[in-house]
Structures are given as structure tokens and as C-alpha cells.
Amino acid sequence: MHPPESTTKMASVRFMVTPTKIDDIPGLSDTSPDLSSRSSSRVRFSSRESVPETSRSEPMSEMSGATTSLATVALDPASDRTSNPQDVTEDDGRKKARNAYLNNSSYEDGDEYFDKNLALFEEEMDTRPKVSSLLNRMANYTNLTQGAKEHEEAENIAEGKKKPTKTPQMGTFMGVYLPCLQNIFGVILFLRLTWVVGTAGVLQAFAIVLICCCCTMLTAISMSAIATNGVVPAGGSYFMISRALGPEFGGAVGLCFYLGTTFAAAMYILGAIEIFLVYIFPRAAIFRSDDVLKESAAMLNNMRVYGTAFLVLMVLVVFIGVRYVNKFASLFLACVIVSILAIYAGAIKSSFAPPHFPVCMLGNRTLSSRHFDTCSKTKETHNLTVPSKLWSFFCNSSQFFNATCDEYFVHNNVTSIQGIPGLASGVIKENLWSNYLPKGEIIEKPSAKSSDVLGSLNHEYVLVDITTSFTLLVGIFFPSVTGIMAGSNRSGDLKDAQKSIPIGTVLAILTTSFVYLSNVVLFGACIEGVVLRDKFGDAVKGNLVVGILSWPSPWVIVIGSFFSTCGAGLQSLTGAPRLLQAIAKDNIIPFLRVFGHSKANGEPTWALLLTAVIAELGILIASLDLVAPILSMFFLMCYLFVNLACALQTLLRTPNWRPRFRYYHWTLSFMGMSICLALMFISSWYYAIVAIVIAGMIYKYIEYQGAEKEWGDGIRGLSLSAARFALLRLEEGPPHTKNWRPQLLVLLKLDEDLHVKHPRLLTFASQLKAGKGLTIVGSVIVGNFLENYGEALAAEQTIKHLMEAEKVKGFCQLVVAAKLKEGISHLIQSCGLGGMKHNTVVMGWPNGWRQSEDARSWKTFIGTVRVTTAAHLALLVAKNISFFPSNVEQLSEGHIDVWWIVHDGGMLMLLPFLLKQHKVR
């Protein structure tokens, strides 16, 4: 028959093996007194049963089915004594409630806390905390999402003070698709696309548009990956990129995006002024010149004056009533859509009823029709043939036929050709090929007949106003495909941002790409080449070139493009200050902090003023063709950073990078990055270098300032992977003798106040390494790590400050050990990683060992020498190190004596050579 206590069902059995003394592990406590705490070695077996809560504190009973709360068996090898302590009393239970974690040093000698923190079941919670609670209290991290500070602050707000949040309701079409369309379609489509087609030819213009659209499409795919990588915060693309890729990438991308948006405002204003002064009301020009060479300079001055006035007016509108800008956004978008539909309607109509827009030609040279009405040398007046007005421009007399005329005018006839031959005319064959010309050249029709006579330059010819090339046209056209981040800027208003941003952005890019590519073909197939190359419509009586193709009237395009450019400029002046304010509020760039302030209604006043100043710089340039490449650089740099960061995150397999966009792949990001970089240098290599330097300076500045943001770091994984790759390469084999160099482990001694006794050892190390190679500075604190880890951290900071003062580039390693010799042995054995391990130990000479109170202190030095020898390391013992010259001294003369007593492999010959590399020598 079994004894009664054997019928009890065991709920849990735990075994703990502690081969060391309990005294060696402070901070941990058992719940029972230790009857053999002084034994040299013990094996402890502890078991616990699950018991009802009512019987937890009751005494043990053989028949009740309850057992002891804790049974401890202590076995002493010397004697077979066995102790079975009773249950813990209530006083002892109150004692258990103390915080007996690993960092607790307020323990009583002999107390043991082994079982105090190990509650595994609910019924044990009255005396022991849960293991999960223990780990949560010990953790030094939070499980909140990135950027959790704002969430924590919001949770701390009282319930009554919380403002009611408005649920976002915008869908993909209204929230992303239409805003992207409005921002992508812009001034370049109406003012420069026909000129790009006529200059580059249909084939090269198609290639330009296709490359630019592919660049934005690949960037949109990368941006979609960012948008689907987690919760999309309100605040737009800057918030998405900075929170996903880190403050360095976020700051660089954000400022490039801000500068691009600001210069976009200047470009739109210049476009609106050009439409106003050239096509709507030319008489409003303030500056005029009859000299053909000075006419362009006068036009630039008009652009500066009117542009500045427009900028001031728009800034006031944004400052006073920004809500009206958003309300009229749909009207501006309607103007753009109507204008584009008018172009398609005109192209279709031209196939069977082309509009009548004659172009006057002298030989194969194009004439400006702004100053004459009759396209002929003579005209009939009262049945008399008299010289026409055109005659007076090329001859020295307007009354007589025998006047002296220009040689080219005499030998060539004046003819009239159709400016819009129509879609079925076959003119696309002539417009397929490029026709790049230098500044001041006359626009000619290659297929027209002409006498081989030079003649003189006349201001009645249509001249090229700027030297053209493929690279120039790329830089001018690229701003017309930007604006892909307009949908992501409204992420806070979207009902489902992770779904709407990718779909709406990609569909908007596909739509605009189709419009641009189809317009390239339509312009080349419908409009005469000389008219396409006529930037300001001089050959068609000052009409907008794309307007003469449209139906029902050119004024549809003129008025629509004017209002759309004004609206786009207002949108840029509205968005740029808010972007700058967001960057300033993040405090990643300290000197921008002032721009984070706003007026009472939240409008960023100071950011708006800075935006206006930067936009004014673009307006002072006064040329749309010169501002566009600058704008292209900043947007290309922004897109380059987005693609680069996404590709790196994927290749480095960053744990927090898990995009759910099904069509994303790192090769697409890499292709987008390559296209962005290529387009930067294609359009303008010097602008590209300046933009790269600016972005690099922003990145390094943020990195130098050490932005303390819990957003992650997009580039840190690259450093880790590169370091791992280099360490693995170093492990491939032992270093060759020629590649050997001293990799130092400097052993420092600390006094009672944790100050370094011989700081000149670091001076010697810095002069020996000259800032190169591996240097590890180590020291030992005698004691127990659970008690002395705070002192170890303080000593580590002291040594790091001293290393910085002595310009020692290396690592610091502190070891807490029970004995000094053991700590030094651990340092010599375990410092370094892989191939980056020390091969030389540097230590000071024990000067005071004879006078030391401890008669065995010299054994520490001897033991260090023996351990170093056993590890096959070189040993440098510096004697009289206090007399060593500091880094600020300059030794103009002197000698380094080398006494080569024993064969050491050339170590003594190498050291003076390395010391002479330092500036002190």
C-alpha cells in the first residue's frame, strides 16, 4: 500500500542546477532559507504543484491532496544532511513582493530569489508575478509602431478634451487619380511640347517622352511599395518616406521635393506670364526693342516684372484664403481636360477639314507674319502693282522696284504653305527626324526650293532663340511628368490609402503617358515642321502653336492653359510651405526649426515667406527653358532617393520592409534609380553635380546631427552587410607577412574614481596607428557584473571621451570580473570579431610594484605576459609612458633608437616607421 502523499497529482516539476555558490549570484533569491549556503557545490531540485487558492497557505496535510508550496533538497557531498523547509509564511510572502529583478542590488546576504519571478500559472499570481510581466518590465523597448511618441501623447489626453476625428471618405478617383492628373498636366504640354516634337523629330521626341514616363512609372511603383509597407500616416509622401526609410533619407528626399515644388511654382508663374504677354495681351509689355538681338532681353525683363507681381499676388491669395485655392482646384482641372479634348478634336477634324493657317516662306526660310499682311513681294492697288510691306523690310526703298534689295530676297520667291496640312497629309514623313540648330539660326523647310545665296540676317525671319540639343529637350520636358506624389500628399483624407495610392497613381501615369505619346504623334502628323519649331508662333501671326490645331478655337487652349498654369502655381505655393513646415516640425534639421511655426489657423507663415523668396529666384531667371532643368534636377534627385532606398531595403532584407504591392520588385527600383541618374546627367551634368552635392550635404548633415527619431534607418543595413562581407573575406586565410600591421589591444588601468591612470597610452596608440587600423581599448573592473554594471557604463563613457580627445579611432571594451587576472585574460582572448582581432597587446610598465601593499600585485603583470605569449600575440610594454610626447607637441628634432636585441620578426623596425607617419614626428 502506497503512502497517502504519493496519490497527489504533480502539476509541474522544475529542475535547477547551480554548480556555483549562491553568494556568487547576488540579486536572486530563493523563498526558503538555505541550510547549506556555504557548501562548495550543490545540486538543487525544486518542485511545485498546482494547489487550490484556498489551501495555498495551509499547513501540509497527508489526506488533503495539497502539498508543500516549495520543497528544496540540498545535498552536501561531505555529509548526507537533508533539509525540508516548511511553506512560506505570510511575512515571507510580503517579502516576496519586492522587485527582485536582475538589476536589483538591494538584497540581503543569504537571501535567494531564484523562484520569485517564475510564476507560470494563474494560481501563483498572489505571490509571484507572471514571466511575461517580468520580461515586459525588463525590456528596454516599446512594442508601439514607429513614431509612437505622437500616439502616446494622444492616449494621455483626457477623454473630454479629445477632439472628434473626422473619418476619411475620399476614394481612389477623387483622392488620388484626379489630383495626380492636375499636377502632371502642366505648362510644358501647351507651351513646349510642339517645339520639342519639331526640334527633336517624332522619333526622338517619342523616346524622350517614353523615357521620362518610364522613370515616373518606376518611381510610382517604388512609392506604392512604401505606401503598402504599413499604415500610411497623414502628411503625404514626405511622411511616408521618412517614417519608412529613416530621417536621413526622409530629410534629403523631403528637401529635394520641397525645392522642386518651389521651383515648379516659379515655372508655372513664368508660363502664365508668357501666355499673357505673347498670346493674350502683347501690348502689355513694358520693355520693348526694335533690335532683333535685344528683343529677347526686353522680353526677359518683362517676365521678371510681371512674374514678381504675379508671385506677390499669389502669395497673398495663399496667405489669406488658402481654402479657396482648394475649392477652385476642380475648376483648374476642368480647364486642362477641356483643352486636351480640344486638341484631340482638332486633330480629328484636320484629317478631313484642316484649318486655314498659311505660313509665309521666302525660299525655304520661314518669315514672321507679325508685321505684314500680304505674303508676296508686290500687291495690287488701284490696278497698279506696287511693292508690298514685305518689300520694305528687305529693300532700302518701299516705293521703287529698282531699289537695292537683299540678295537672298532677290533670288528667291515668296510662297505660302499650309501650317496645318492635316492628319492625312503625310507631313509626318518630314517630321520624323531631328533638326537641332544653334541660337540665331533661321528656321528652314528642308524640302522647299531655295537658291544657294547667303543673304543677310533680317528680323523678319523666324529665328531660333536657344541652342537646342537632345539633352536640353530632356531637361525641359521632364517637369511635365512630375506631380506623381500629389495623391500621396492627401493620404490623410483617403478612406483606404494603401489601396488608393498605388492604383490611383499608376492609372494617372498611364493616362498622362498615353496623352503625351499620342500628342507627339498627332503633332508630327498634323502640323508643318517649320511651325512646330516656331516656339512663339511668329509664323502663324502670334498664335499658340498647339492652339491653331485645336477645335473650335485657339482661344480654348490659350484661356484654358492660362488658368491651369495659374492654378498649378497656387497649388505649388500651397503645398511647398506645408512640406517645409512638416520637415521643420520633425526637428531633423535644427536651423529650419523657425519655419515650423504657423499662425493661429495653422498656416505656415514663415515657410510661405521662404518659399516666396526661393520662387522669386526662379522668376529672376525669367526663362522657362532655364528654370525647367533646375526643377528637373530636384525632382529627379527626389525620385532617385525613393528608388535607391526601396532597392536597398529589399536587397538587405530589412525586417520592417514588407511591401504588399504585388507588382513591386527590387529590380524595378534599381531600373528607376538608374534612369533617374542617367536623366540627370543627360539633361545637365553640371546641374546634376550640384544637386547631388546638395542632397549629399543634407544627408550627411542630418546624420552628423544624429536625428533621434524612431523611424528606422534605410542605410544602416548596408553598413552592416558591408561589414559582414568584409569580415568573412578576412576569415578566408591568415594575413600575409607583407600585410601584417599591429592591431592594438590597449590595456588601461583605472583608479578608484574610474579615471585612467596612464592616458598617454592612448596618445602612444593614436600616434602609432595614425587613425588607421584596428584599435581596441580595454579595461577591467573588479567585482560582480550585477552590482557593478553601472560603474562599467560610466567607465566606458570616460574612456570614450578620452579616446575622442586623443583622436583614437577604435572601440572600447569593459569587462567586469571577480579577479583582475581573469578579466585581462578574457579581454585578450575574446576581444575583436573574426578577422578584426587584435594581434598586439599594449600595456604600461608596473612602476610601483615594489612599493605596493599587495605583495602579489606583480603576478598580474607576469600573468598578462604569459597569457599574451600563449595567445601568440605581440606585446608592447611602454615604460615611462608619462614622458611620452602628446599629440599637440611638434618634435622638430630627435631620434628614435631601436635596440634589436632578439629576433622579433621586424617588429622593432616597424614601430618607429609607423610613429614617423604621425604629424608629431
What does the pLDDT read at residue 764? 87
Mean pLDDT across 775-780: 92
Decide: 236 and 491 in contact? Cβ < 8 Å. Answer: yes
| pLDDT value of residue 773 | 76
How confident is the model at residue 33, as a pLDDT? 38
Nearest alpha carbon to residue 276 among 566, 568, 573: 566
Between 151 and 509, the higher pLDDT residue: 509
Quick one: which H or E segment has residue 258? helix 247-274
Q: Say which range, 152-156, 461-465, 694-698, has the weakest mean pLDDT.
A: 152-156
Structure confidence at residue 93 as a pLDDT band (50, 70, 90): very low
Q: Where does the pLDDT of residue 349 fall: very low under 50, low under 70, confident under 90, or very high at 90 and above?
A: very high
The answer to whether 340 touches 412, Cβ cutoff 8 Å, is: no
| CATH 3.60.110.10 holds for 742-916 | no
Q: How far apart are CA 180 and CA 183, in angstroms?
A: 5
Lowest mean pLDDT, pick from 115-129, 156-170, 254-268, 739-753: 115-129
pLDDT at 658: 85
422 Ramachandran zone, left/alpha/beta (phi>0; psi -120 to 50): left
Query: Mean pLDDT, to the nearest integer, of 425-443?
Result: 91
For position 212, what pLDDT does the model report? Answer: 95
Q: Is the pLDDT of residue 175 over 70?
A: yes
The pLDDT of residue 383 is: 78
pLDDT tens string 407-419: 888 888 899 999 9
Type of residue at 511: T
Model pLDDT for residues 64-89, shown as the tens digit of each residue: 343 333 333 333 433 343 334 444 34
pLDDT of 512 higher than 90: yes
Looking at per-residue pLDDT, the higher value among 122 and 491 belongs to 491
* Nearest in space to 570 (alpha carbons), one of 321, 351, 355: 321
In DSSP terms, which residues pair with 750 in a beta bridge?
756
Q: What is the pLDDT of residues 544-593, one digit of tens each?
A: 999 999 988 889 999 999 988 988 888 888 888 888 888 888 888 888 88
Q: Rounded mean pLDDT of 165-181?
A: 78
**Across 154-168, 812-826, 892-906, least confident range:** 154-168
Contacts of 363 (CB under 8 A, 6+ apart): 408, 411, 412, 413, 448, 449, 450, 451
Domain 148-354+469-634, architecture per CATH? Up-down Bundle (1.20)
3-state secondary structure 691-736: HHHHHHHHHHHHHHHCCCCCCCCCCHHHHHHHHHHHHHHHCCCCCC
| Residue 744 backbone dihedrals phi, psi, to 5 degrees | -90, 140
Which pLDDT does position 53 carry in this prediction? 42
**693: Cβ–Cβ under 8 A, 6 or more apart, which residues?**
none
pLDDT, position 729: 76
Return the percentage of the chain with pLDDT > 90, whole number: 29
Determine the distance from the C-alpha atom of residue 66 to the mean position of all C-alpha atoms in its chain, rounded to a whole number: 64
Higher per-residue pLDDT: 623 or 730: 623
Question: 742-916: same fold as 148-354+469-634?
Answer: no
How sure is the predictor about 657, in pLDDT bands with cuts at 50, 70 and 90?
Answer: confident
Query: pLDDT, tens digit, for every residue of 829-879?
Result: 999 887 788 889 999 888 776 666 666 667 888 899 999 999 989 888 888
- For the packed helices 624-651 and 193-227, what is the interaxial angle rounded to 10 degrees? 30
Closest CA to 773 of 827, 718, 811, 816: 811
Say which residues have a Cβ less than 8 Å from residue 243's Cβ, sequence separation at least 6.
Answer: 146, 147, 233, 250, 711, 712
The C-alpha cell that represents 491 in the structure block = 493620404
Mean pLDDT of 205-215: 96
On whether the pTM is more than 0.85, the answer is no
Whether pLDDT at 515 is above 90:
yes
Whether the Cβ atoms of residue 658 and residue 496 lie closer than 8 Å to each other: no
Range with the poorest average pLDDT among 239-248, 543-552, 771-780, 784-793: 239-248
User: 357-403 pLDDT, tens per residue?
Assistant: 899 999 899 998 887 888 888 888 777 778 888 888 888 766 666 77
Q: Predicted confidence band at 815 (pLDDT cuts at 50, 70, 90)?
A: very high
With a CB cutoff of 8 Å and minimum separation 6, the contacts of 612 are: 311, 312, 315, 573
Give me the mean pLDDT over the 699-706 stretch: 79
Q: Is 336 within 8 Å of 182 (Cβ atoms)? A: yes
Q: Which residue has the higher pLDDT, 905 or 238?
A: 238
Write the DSSP string, 131-196. HHHHHHHH--S--SPTTHHHHHHHHTS-GGGPPPPPPP-B-HIIIIIHHHHHHHS-HHHHHTHHHH
- The residue that leads in pLDDT, 449 or 160, is 449
Whether residue 616 has pLDDT greater than 90: yes
- pLDDT tens for each residue of 41-59: 333 333 334 444 444 444 4
How many Cβ atoms sit within 10 Å of the Cβ of residue 753?
7
Helix (H, G, I), strand (E, B) or coil at 276: helix
CA 119 – CA 123 distance, rounded (Å): 9
Instruction: Let me know: does 374 contact 602? Beta carbons within 8 Å.
Output: no
Report d(CA 58, CA 194) in Å as an integer. Answer: 97
Q: What is the mean pLDDT of residues 537-550?
A: 90
Secondary structure element (H or E) that encloses residue 843, with its range: strand 840-844
Residue ranges per structural domain of the chain: 148-354+469-634, 358-463, 742-916
Q: Residue 153: which pLDDT band, with cuts at 50, 70 and 90?
A: low
113, 100 Cβ separation under 8 angstroms: yes
Return the CA Rg of the chain: 41
Distance of CA 777 to the CA centre of its chain: 35
Residue 698 has pLDDT above 70, yes or no: yes
